Amino acid sequence: MKSYKTSDLENLVSYYNTSAYVRTDELESFAEEIMEEGEDIEDVISTLELKIEYDILPQYQYIECKDQGSYHLYIWHKI
């Protein structure tokens, strides 16, 4: 996986009131940008999901993944 700035990953997170959201289509697009030849896209996405959950949203609890039609939306609520 190519190096990236934490701020690039933070830009994928949207906030509203006490909730945080990440669109799966935007996460996948970012993963495609930073993956290197031979890497599995699912592994890169999984790594990014963990980085978001534990590094960017440590004070949030993951709630659900909602189907939005053309993408899914990960949802966290502030603890």
The answer to whether residue 70 sits within a structural domain is yes
Banded model confidence at residue 2, pLDDT cuts 50, 70, 90: very high
Q: Is residue 1 part of a domain?
A: no
Number of domains in the chain: 1
This model's pTM is above 0.85: yes
Contact assessment for residue 38 and residue 23, using Cβ atoms and an 8 Å cutoff: no
Instruction: List phi, psi (to 5°) of 35.
Output: -75, 150
Mean pLDDT value across residues 45-50: 96
Average pLDDT over residues 24-47: 96
Residue 24 belongs to a domain = yes
Amino acid at 27: L
Which whole number is the average pLDDT over 63-76? 96
The angle at the Cα of 74, spanning 31 to 37, to the nearest 5 degrees, equals 10
State which residues form the domain around 69: 6-78
The answer to whether 30 and 12 have CB atoms below 8 angstroms apart is yes
